[in-house]
A and B are shown apart, each in its own frame.
Chain A
């Protein structure tokens, strides 16, 4: 069965520090993976996506993610976070039939000034 796991419910970092948010997926086929961000009282906004090719994909606002088939992971990174990055981040898997998408439980990012 398909699933997505984000093991860290909450991550706190200082402004200017580097960031990694972890994501593990479960799917036997070729995964299509996304990271979305959700600000308070907002919908989800796409940060980046991976379909194939270079395992490191670049996204908006300096975010990047690295796909690893061997580790079934798709971790999100940023070299230097800003206070405005504080939000909830979701790792999402598109897989299987019937156009289903599967969400991780989200990671709340708190950036301290």
Chain B
């Protein structure tokens, strides 16, 4: 069973508000991913880290989204100014590295009203 912990499970924000969600990866996993899953079950890669360093992120992330994975603290994903289109399930995942099993959290469901 996955031990990736995401908080909060549900988040409701008004348009323009800041939205922040957190993730505690599996112990010992150096790689952390953030994905956005829309209502059509499509996954959009946002960003991934290895040992606190950003490996890759998409352009969208660079503008309104920010993420970090400090050592000895939860990882976080923050949307500076929420938009209606940001409403989605945000999934955090972790793994030991390339080509290994990826463990997912239960997600944070963001609703922007």
Contact = CB atoms under 8 A, between A and B. Distances in A.
Contact of A46 (B43, B98, B101, B109): B101
Main secondary structure of the interface of A (DSSP, over half): strand
A98 B55 contact: yes
Interface in B14-46: 31, 33, 35, 40-43, 45
A11 B112 CA distance: 32
Interface residues of A, number: 26
A98 B56 contact: yes
Interface string A24-63: 0000000010101010011111100101000000000000
A100 B56 contact: yes
A99 B31 contact: yes
A58 to B, nearest CB: 15
A74 B97 CA distance: 22
A9 to B, nearest CB: 9
B104 A51 contact: no
Interface of A: 32, 34, 36, 38, 41-46, 49, 51, 88, 90, 92, 94-95, 97-101, 103, 105-106, 108
A47 B24 CA distance: 22
B33 A101 contact: yes
Contacts of B99: 32, 51, 94-95
B28 to A, nearest CB: 15
Given A43-B91, A103-B35, 19 more contacts: A34-B101, A34-B102, A41-B109, A43-B2, A43-B6, A43-B107, A44-B93, A45-B104, A51-B99, A94-B99, A94-B102, A95-B99, A98-B55, A99-B31, A100-B56, A103-B42, A103-B43, A105-B41, A106-B41
Contact of B2 (A45, A105, A106, A108): A45
B104 A92 contact: no
B111 interface: no
Contacts of A106: 41
